Amino acid sequence: MWNDFSAYEKIMEKRMRIAGYQLLDSGMGNKLERVGPYLLMRPSPQAVWSPYLPEERWQEADAVYIRSSSGGGKWEFKRRLPEKWEIEYGGFRFAVKPTGFGHLGIFPEQRESWEWISEKVKTVTREITVLNLFAYTGGSTLAAASAGASVCHLDASKGVVDWGRENTALSGLSSSSIRWIVDDANKFIGKEIRRGKKYDAIILDPPSFGRGAKGEVWKIEDDLTKLLNTCRALLSDEPLFVLLSCHSPGFTPLVLQNLLAEMMKTIKGRLSCAEMVITEAESGSPLPCGSYARWSLK
């Protein structure tokens, strides 16, 4: 704890002037992040190198997420934090909070994809419909909606969908055309196919493992290929793009690109893939944070 509270107030005042999110450093299996006015330390298994910043900077963290050997984890709070707070990032406003899984409600590595989504939607003058599966708290939904698309936002967790609604309101996009769905992805896709529904673009960010709204089990290694094949039936006659990303070990950019190539083999388009990264503010080094592949109409 801080013995000199006035010194702590000065540091917090300085942090408040830095809005949004910054990755300050990474190393030794962790990352040091500035999330609004607070410093957080969370696991980052791929950061096997030595930290760039001195140890005393890391010790300034307001909260640390400790992962247990059983696969769970817990937060250790060095100072009292609010239950949640707001940040600006990527042109949007997000409510963030430390969850029991170590997540905050935002994946900063997706920012470049949000910009790509927005650019793609803005390239056409016709109305665009977007299906965002495993949509979490809605960063990609905000990107598509702010560019003028009609979005179907789906996640199996009602709490997460409500969180997405909150972010939409915070970002001034409540009047956008967004359909909010709490359902299992596979079941919902089957319903949409039977209804004859079509989408011009599909966004998928599947987890490694998950459960649907009624306990349905999802395993990416078993279920992703089938899901992509059924998604293909939902695409319109002139699809605009498909974006596939994930954070699962072994699902490299080329693996995801091959899966998209198989899904879109009957339609000529442009394929690309890369690692998702966040650039460290202090050293300028990139921290890899998953993979993505993109297909877009030529």
- For position 69, what pLDDT does the model report? 77
What is the distance in angstroms between the CA of the first residue and the CA of the last residue of the chain? Answer: 57
What distance in Å separates the CA atoms of residue 106 and residue 139, rounded to the nearest whole number?
Answer: 7
Do the bridges between strand 129-133 and strand 201-204 make them parallel or antiparallel, or are there none, so unpaired?
parallel
Region 46-67: what's the mean pLDDT? 97
How confident is the model over 78-109, as pLDDT tens digits? Answer: 999 999 999 999 999 999 999 999 999 999 99
Q: Does domain 108-297 have CATH number 3.40.50.920?
A: no
Average pLDDT in the chain: 92
- For position 213, what pLDDT does the model report? 61
pLDDT reading at 16 higher than 50: no
Task: Give the residue extent of every domain in the chain.
Answer: 5-96, 108-297
Region 114-134: what's the mean pLDDT? 97
Least confident of 1-15, 199-213, 279-293: 1-15
Q: pTM higher than 0.85, yes or no? A: yes
Angle formed by the axes of helices 111-122 and 139-146, to 10°? Answer: 30
In the chain, pLDDT over 70 holds for what percent of residues?
93
- For position 176, what pLDDT does the model report? 97
Instruction: Kindly indicate the confidence band of residue 72, based on its pLDDT and cuts at 50, 70 and 90.
Output: confident
Write a three-state SS string for the chain: CCCCHHHHHHHHHHHHCCCCEEEEEEECCEEEEEECCEEEEEECCCCCCCCCCCHHHHCCCCEEEEECCCCCEEEEECCCCCCCEEEEECCEEEEECCCCCCCCCCCHHHHHHHHHHHHHHHCCCCCCEEEEECCCCCHHHHHHHHCCCEEEEEECCHHHHHHHHHHHHHCCCCCCCEEEEECCHHHHHHHHHHHCCCECEEEECCCCEEECCCCCEEEHHHHHHHHHHHHHCCECCCCCEEEEEECCCCCCHHHHHHHHHHHCCCCCEEEEEEEEEEECCCCCCEEEEEEEEEEEEC
How confident is the model over 132-164, as pLDDT tens digits? Answer: 999 999 999 999 999 999 999 999 999 999 999
pLDDT reading at 123 higher than 60: yes
**Which has the closest alpha carbon to 181: 170, 235, 146, 197?**
197
Instruction: Kindly indicate the confidence band of residue 217, based on its pLDDT and cuts at 50, 70 and 90.
Output: confident
What distance in Å separates the CA atoms of residue 298 and residue 291, rounded to the nearest whole number?
Answer: 22
In the chain, pLDDT over 90 holds for what percent of residues?
87
Do the bridges between strand 201-204 and strand 241-246 make them parallel or antiparallel, or are there none, so unpaired?
parallel
Region 283-292: what's the mean pLDDT? 97
pLDDT reading at 8 higher than 60: no
- Cβ–Cβ < 8 Å for 289, 249: no
Q: 5-96 — its CATH code?
A: 2.60.40.1180
What distance in Å separates the CA atoms of residue 24 and residue 147, rounded to the nearest whole number?
Answer: 30
- For position 279, what pLDDT does the model report? 97
pLDDT reading at 15 higher than 70: no
Least confident of 14-23, 247-256, 262-271: 14-23
